[in-house]
Each structure stands twice: as C-alpha cells, then as structure tokens.
C-alpha cells in the first residue's frame, strides 16, 4: 500500500480512502465562491501544522496580506507559518510560467524550487491554473504549457493542488481535467426546499488509487471545509459492537419492560409508529430519561420540537429533560430539516458515537428526514446509514414515525421500511364506550420473547404507564370493537354486588335499628350512583 | 380494639364499596390510591391486614407485595390481593407471597369471609 497524503479534512480523507497519492496532481475545480481555494489552502495548512509537511501557495490574483487577513477567520495563521519556515506564499504573474526558451525552466518554477529548497516543501497550491491557460495562444500551446508546469512541480518533489474555474458549458470536460491525475469537482447550487445552497464534491478520478463514488456534501464552517461522506461505510453482522449480545435495556416504563421481556434488546433499532398525539415523543424521552442507568448518556435528535419547548412539555409529564441536559447525561440536538443535510447529521452522529459515551439514541421524527431529502430514492440509504451507525457502535435507538392513518388490523402496512428495523412498536387510539384510550402493542422485537398483547398506555404527571390488556374486548385494531371492557364491567358490578349482598344482610342478620338505617342510607347512595353510571354507560338521557 | 385494615386501590368507587362493606363489621379503615403510599403508611402505622389491588400507578400491587415480603418487619403481615387482572390466579398470587386472593368484582359476602380468616 503506497503512502498517502492526508488532507487533514477527516470526511475528505475518508472519501479518498485515506488521502491522495503523493506526486499525483490534484485539480480542484468549480464555480467562483464554491470553496476550492479554501479547500486547497486547508490541505496545505494542515500539511504544515499536522503532518510536518511544509507547503507553498502560489497566488495569481490575490495579495498574500489579503489572504492572511481572510484566513484568520478560520484561525489559520499563515503569516506565522511563513515566519516559522513552514510555508512560502508566492504572488506571481501568469506570464511567469512561460519560458524564455524551450530548454530553460519557467521563472515561476525556479522561484518555487528555491522555496522548496529553503523549507523542504512537499505540498503546493496554485490558485488558479485558469490564469495559466489564459496566457496561451491556442488550445495546443495551453496543453503544452500546463503539462510542462505540472511536470515541473512533480519533478521538484511536490504534490500539486491546482484550482480551476469550471467551464460554462454543462458536462464539458476541460483540458485541465485531462492533464491532472485527480479531479475534484466542487459545486454550490440552490437546493430545493432548503434555505441555503447545497455544496457538493464529486470526485471524478483519483489515478492509481480508489475513492468513494458519488456526490459528497460539504460545508464551509468556522473550521474551514467539512466534508460529509455520502454514507458511512457498511457494517457487516460480524462487525456489530461487541458485547451487544441479547441483553436488555430498560424502556423506562415498567409495564413496557414486562411485555418486552425485560426491555429493548441492546444495540437494536426500534421504530415507534403512531398517529399524532399517541405519545411517540414521550415514549422516546422516557427511554432516555427514566430508562437510563445513572451516568448513562443519551442523545435526542429533534427534527420538530425546539429543545426548550420539548423540555417544558416533558417537565409536565415528570420527565426532567432540562435537568438531565444540565447534568450532562442527555444531549438534545435540534435541526430544522430545511437547513441541514442528513449527511452532516450522520457525520456529527458518528463523531458523537466515536466518543464512546452515548448508548441510547432517539430520533424524532423520521418523517422529517424523508421531507428533507432532495432525492426521495436516497431515503432508504439514509435510514440504512442511521441504523448501521447505531448497530456498529452498539447504540440502542428509537425512531419515531408519524402515521397519517391507522389502518386497522394491518398497522405494519403503513410503517415505511418496517423490515429494516429490529423492533416495531405501534401506538394507536381506540374508542371504548365514548371514551378514547391510547393503546400500545409490540409488533416485532428481535432478540428474546415479547408479548404482543394490546395494552392501555396512559400518561400523567409521572410519565407514561403501560396498563392492563383490554380484557373482554376484541377487534380493537380494526376499529370494530366487540365485547365489554372488563374494567367497565367491574365498575358496574362492584356496587351491584354490594347492593344485593347488603339487602340479604338486612333481611337475614339481626342488627340494631341505627345500624340498619346506616346501611339503608349507603344502599340508597350506592344505588343512585349505579343508576347514574348505567345511564352514562348506555347513554340513557332520563 | 377494632382491627385496622389498609385498602390500596386507585379506583375511588371500588374503595368506597370496600370501605362500606368493612365498616359494617366495625373494622378501622385507612385508604390509599397506590402502592407507594401503602408502603409509606405501613412504615408508620400499625396495620392488621392489607387489601391491595394490582393495577395501580407508581407502584403496583405486585411490586408492593414484593417490597413487603422482602422486609422482615412485614413478613407475617396478612396481605389480601383483590384484582380483575386476567393473568392473576389464587395460585400464582399466593406463590408470590400473598396470604389470599379475590377476583374483582368481589361480592361483599366473599370479602367479609376472606377478611375474617385473617383478622377474625
């Protein structure tokens, strides 16, 4: 395996399968303002500061002092590097690439060679070669000139990075692309449904070395260029995080742990699907806040609620989100789908997982992911990337999904990509005798036994509780409920038994008049209450 | 001295019926609406019998039963579980340490008979 020249931009090095081959010429091509100069300078700067590889920057249009000033916004002290003999910045004229005669080196190459000898430079950025091409009289001489210049740089031991303006004609391949070994096309376009431009890197070729194909999103951040590889590498079943096994982690709800056979299976991903208002978000938060062991770290990614609003909402349910965030046991990330690339979320998530502290993740809600993706066909890939990441790092995750309709006995039919998830929990509503009840059911859970009972889900100031089965009722999911809810039967029969038994006692048991009067008073009161209950139950008006 | 019975049930109308039934026999009654409150009460008050529902918020009847039986102080406290849970049977509830089990809805005559076995 040949030694590779790292750019020091983590996402880009990953896309480049480790970096560039030394002495390959690299073309950074794109429209003005898309970030090619920043990317080139960052590669040279990182070389000097991280890899002990001094560099040279050749500028044709911008003065060095102006460049130093602009780059201080990234905290890159180029002037300091120059003083430490780790960098040389040459301001030149494009005409300096022209030789006086065919045998002599062009003046610019000679100047660069001096710099290389002074500081031992390994990397060079030339910004931009479009100027060089402009000094040639025709296409043939432009080709000769550029090839000679690139080879001149290689001969003195440099790995050249060359910026170039993109052709105006769509799909056109410039001369510079034929003459260089690696081509990175940078673009910045207005994105559909986004409030900003989407920047992408498309690696057209890397001669002699592999790279990850496809378009990779990048951003200009306050640290310079950040590249978010299209998708994280796939993880095979064998590579799943060690120790995930089939152990269980608490859901934070005792009744749910019981029906899950102890809790969610560690390291698995479960979808929580339900109509609006069925406690999907609360179920996720309770998993992070009440289910976690002391000092266990959880992450909540919200694509809808603002963190402050979420915290207030959950406080009313006895789930102290703000307190957990303050103590460092919980992080809440909030993204507005229109203002974020999913690649960036995945990149940040992987960086978080790499810290090794996060063991629980909730993503609320995946419908927003689907809405934010430009190409609907890539939704499945993005979801697969989320699940792969969680699996690789042994993180137990819940993904909420808002359902538009509840189609009776076939709830799975409305859950997108249900087969991708290890577990599926369905949340719904049912109406029993004019009263709406929330219902929870585990439809699938990989690893261990679970009960597929339909249970009542309630919420109070202490959070969610999973209650009894709907004993006595059938056809709940289809919406065609049959039978009598045993809880209601109990409410009606308990006073009825009381009335019956106490009438017998009055008739059969000797007792004092005052005691008899007391019982009769209770019977009167209970029979009145029973009549009222029956009226409500059977909707009798009089 | 009348015997003291603690009733733990989250359903107020069920608690009322139990109370009226037991008052008939002159028992002294305390009522709470969940297992956690029952546990607190038992720590501070002398009680002769506990009648508990299973499905209650915060701490359910089975958790309460387990907590009490784990504490030597309550090892001999008579505990009568009264529940409508379909999975609950006298056999499996007694196996968990309860002294007796009644299915809800429970006729007062049955309740008084069961209570008499423990507190006379």
Residues A166 and A61 in one domain: yes
What are B's interface residues with A at a Cβ cutoff of 8 A?
11, 13-14, 16-17, 20-21, 24, 55, 57-58, 60, 63, 84-86, 104-109
**Cβ–Cβ contact A500 with B under 8 A:** yes
Residues A165 and A59 in one domain: yes
Number of Cβ pairs < 8 A linking chain A and chain B: 61
Q: What is the pLDDT of residue A322?
A: 94
Residues A263 and A297 in one domain: yes
Q: Do A453 and A469 contact (CB within 8 A), yes or no?
A: yes
CB-nearest to B108 from A254, A491, A498 is A498
**CB atoms B57 and A460 under 8 Å:** yes
- Please compute the mean of the pLDDT values over residues A299-320 and round it to a whole number: 93
- Please compute the mean of the pLDDT values over residues A275-295 and round it to a whole number: 91
Q: What is the pLDDT of residue A193?
A: 62
Q: What is the pLDDT of residue A411?
A: 62
Q: What is the pLDDT of residue A238?
A: 45
CB-nearest to B85 from A468, A495, A500 is A468
Q: Strand B28-32 and strand B4-8: pairing?
A: parallel
A99/A281: higher pLDDT: A281
Closest to B37 in 3D by CA, of B16, B7, B82: B7
CA A71 to chain centre: 30
**CB atoms B13 and A462 under 8 Å:** no
Q: What is the CB neighbour count within 10 angstroms for residue A65? A: 12
Q: What is the ipTM of this complex?
A: 0.81
User: A467 contacts in B (CB within 8 Å)?
Assistant: 55
A235 pLDDT higher than 50: no
Residues A69 and A116 in one domain: yes
Interface with A, mutate which of B56, B84, B111 (most A CBs under 10 A): B84
The CATH number assigned to the domain holding A255 equals 3.40.50.300
**Cβ–Cβ contact A490 with B under 8 A:** yes
CB-nearest to A490 from B16, B104, B107 is B104
**Cβ–Cβ contact A198 with B under 8 A:** no
Interface with A, mutate which of B29, B104, B106, B111 (most A CBs under 10 A): B104
Q: Do A305 and A321 contact (CB within 8 A), yes or no?
A: no
Q: Which residues of chain B have pLDDT under 70?
A: 86
Q: What is the pLDDT of residue A436?
A: 83
Average pLDDT, chain A: 86
User: B86 contacts in A (CB within 8 Å)?
Assistant: 469, 471, 486
Return the structure tokens found at B6: 């603690």
Q: Strand A123-127 and strand A20-21: pairing?
A: unpaired
Q: How many domains does chain B have?
A: 1
CA pair distance A149, A418, nearest whole angstrom:
57
**CB atoms B55 and A498 under 8 Å:** no
Q: Is A436 exposed, middle or buried (0-12, 13-18, 19+ CB in 10 A)?
A: exposed
Taking only the tens place, the pLDDT of each residue in A42-52 is 999 999 999 99
Torsion, CA A17, CA A22, CA A24, CA A30, rounded to 10:
60
- pLDDT bucket at A377, cuts 50 / 70 / 90: confident
- pLDDT bucket at A194, cuts 50 / 70 / 90: low
Residues A427 and A500 in one domain: no
Closest to A304 in 3D by CA, of A370, A397, A230: A370
A61/A472: higher pLDDT: A61
| Closest chain B C-alpha to A257 CA, distance in angstroms | 14
Residues A22 and A71 in one domain: yes
Range of the domain at B57: 4-119
Closest to A501 in 3D by CA, of B103, B109, B13: B109
Q: What is the pLDDT of residue B55?
A: 82
CB-nearest to A490 from B24, B105, B109 is B105
Q: Provide the b/e sequence for A89-102 (b: ≥16 CB within 10 Å).
A: bbebebebbbbeee
Residues A434 and A530 in one domain: no
The CATH number assigned to the domain holding B35 equals 3.40.50.2300
| Closest chain A C-alpha to B11 CA, distance in angstroms | 9
Pick the residue from chain B with its C-alpha nearest to A518: B24
User: A506 contacts in B (CB within 8 Å)?
Assistant: none
Which of A58-72, A213-227, A403-417 is least confident? A403-417
Q: How many domains does chain A have?
A: 3
**CB atoms A501 and B24 under 8 Å:** no
Residues A108 and A189 in one domain: yes
Q: Do A281 and A366 contact (CB within 8 A), yes or no?
A: no
A233 pLDDT higher than 70: no
Residue pointed to by tokens 């006995």: A409
Residues A62 and A202 in one domain: yes
Please enumerate in sequence order all residues whose Cβ is within 8 A of that of A137, keeping only pairs 6 or more positions apart, or say none. Answer: none
Residues A90 and A160 in one domain: yes
Q: What is the pLDDT of residue A243?
A: 46
- Please compute the mean of the pLDDT values over residues A167-182 and round it to a whole number: 71
Interface with A, mutate which of B13, B58, B60 (most A CBs under 10 A): B13
Q: Do A370 and A416 contact (CB within 8 A), yes or no?
A: yes
- Please compute the mean of the pLDDT values over residues A374-394 and round it to a whole number: 85
Residues A67 and A194 in one domain: yes
Please enumerate in sequence order all residues whose Cβ is within 8 A of that of B81, keeping only pairs 6 or more positions apart, or say none. Answer: B52, B53, B54, B61, B65, B88, B93, B98, B100, B101, B102
Residue pointed to by tokens 């940078």: A186
CB-nearest to B108 from A460, A501, A529 is A501
Range of the domain at A149: 4-228
**CB atoms A487 and B84 under 8 Å:** yes
- pLDDT bucket at A179, cuts 50 / 70 / 90: confident
Residues A416 and A295 in one domain: yes
Pick the residue from chain A with its C-alpha nearest to B20: A522
| Closest chain B C-alpha to A269 CA, distance in angstroms | 28
DSSP structure class, residue A296: -
**CB atoms A491 and B11 under 8 Å:** yes
A156 pLDDT higher than 70: yes
Q: Do A60 and A127 contact (CB within 8 A), yes or no?
A: yes
Pick the residue from chain B with its C-alpha nearest to A512: B24
| Closest chain A C-alpha to B17 CA, distance in angstroms | 7
Q: Do B13 and A495 contact (CB within 8 A), yes or no?
A: yes
A203 pLDDT higher than 50: yes
């Amino acid at each position: 395996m040949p030694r590779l020249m790292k750019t020091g931009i983590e996402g880009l090095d990953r896309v480049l399968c480790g970096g560039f081959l030394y002495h390959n010429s690299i073309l950074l091509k794109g429209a003005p303002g898309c970030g090619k100069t920043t990317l080139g300078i960052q590669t040279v700067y990182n070389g000097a500061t991280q890899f002990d590889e001094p560099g040279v920057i050749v500028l044709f249009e911008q003065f060095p002092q102006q460049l130093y000033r602009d780059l201080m916004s990234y905290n890159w002290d180029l002037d300091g590097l120059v003083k430490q003999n780790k960098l040389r910045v040459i301001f030149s004229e494009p005409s300096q690439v022209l030789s006086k005669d065919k045998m002599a080196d062009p003046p610019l190459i000679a100047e660069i060679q001096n710099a290389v000898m002074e500081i031992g430079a390994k990397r060079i950025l030339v910004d931009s070669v479009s100027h060089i091409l402009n000094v040639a009289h025709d296409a043939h001489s432009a080709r000769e000139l550029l090839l000679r210049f690139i080879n001149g740089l290689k001969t003195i031991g440099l790995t050249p990075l060359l910026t170039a303006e993109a052709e105006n004609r769509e799909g056109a391949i410039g001369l510079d692309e034929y003459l260089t070994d690696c081509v990175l096309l940078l673009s910045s376009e207005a994105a559909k449904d986004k409030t900003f431009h989407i920047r992408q890197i498309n690696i057209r070729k890397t001669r002699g070395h592999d790279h990850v194909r496809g378009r990779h999103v990048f951003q200009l951040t306050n640290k310079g260029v950040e590249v978010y590889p299209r998708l994280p590498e796939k993880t095979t079943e064998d590579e799943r995080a060690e120790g995930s096994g089939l152990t269980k982690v608490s859901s934070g709800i005792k009744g749910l742990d019981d029906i899950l056979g102890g809790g969610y299976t560690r390291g698995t991903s479960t979808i929580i699907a339900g109509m609006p208002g069925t406690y999907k978000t609360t179920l996720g938060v309770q998993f992070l806040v009440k289910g976690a062991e002391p000092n266990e770290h959880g992450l909540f990614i919200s694509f809808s609620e603002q963190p402050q609003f979420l915290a207030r909402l959950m406080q009313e349910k006895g789930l102290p989100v703000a307190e957990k965030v303050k103590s460092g046991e919980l992080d809440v990330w909030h993204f507005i789908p229109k203002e974020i690339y999913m690649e960036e979320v995945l990149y940040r998530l992987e960086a978080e997982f790499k810290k090794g502290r996060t063991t629980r993740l909730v993503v609320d809600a995946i419908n927003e992911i689907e809405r934010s993706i430009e190409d609907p066909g890539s939704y499945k890939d993005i979801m697969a990337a989320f699940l792969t990441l969680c699996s690789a790092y042994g993180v137990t995750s819940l993904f909420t999904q808002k359902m538009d309709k509840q189609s009776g006995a076939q709830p799975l039919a409305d859950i997108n990509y249900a087969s991708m998830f290890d577990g599926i929990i369905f949340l719904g509503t049912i109406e029993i005798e004019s009263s709406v009840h929330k219902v929870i059911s585990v439809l699938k859970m990989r690893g261990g036994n679970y009960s597929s009972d339909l249970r009542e889900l309630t919420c109070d100031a202490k959070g969610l509780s999973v209650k009894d089965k709907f004993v006595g009722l059938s056809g709940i999911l289809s919406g065609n409920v049959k039978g009598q809810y045993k809880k209601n039967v109990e409410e009606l029969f308990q006073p009825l038994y009381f009335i019956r038994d106490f009438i017998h006692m009055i008739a059969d048991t000797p007792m004092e008049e005052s005691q008899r009067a007391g019982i009769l008073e209770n019977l009167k009161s209970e029979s009145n209450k029973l009549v009222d209950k029956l009226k409500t139950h059977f909707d009798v008006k009089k | 001295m009348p015997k003291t019975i603690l009733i733990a049930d989250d359903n107020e109308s069920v608690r009322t019926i139990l109370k009226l039934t037991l008052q008939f026999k002159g028992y002294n009654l305390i009522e709470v609406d969940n297992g956690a409150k029952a546990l607190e009460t038992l720590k501070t008050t002398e009680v002769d019998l506990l009648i508990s529902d299973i499905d209650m918020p915060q701490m359910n009847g089975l958790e309460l039963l387990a907590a009490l039986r784990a504490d030597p102080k309550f090892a001999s406290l008579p505990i009568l579980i009264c529940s409508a849970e379909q999975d609950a049977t006298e056999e499996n509830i007694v196996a968990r340490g309860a002294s007796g089990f009644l299915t809800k809805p429970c006729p007062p005559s049955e309740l008084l008979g069961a209570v008499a076995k423990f507190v006379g």
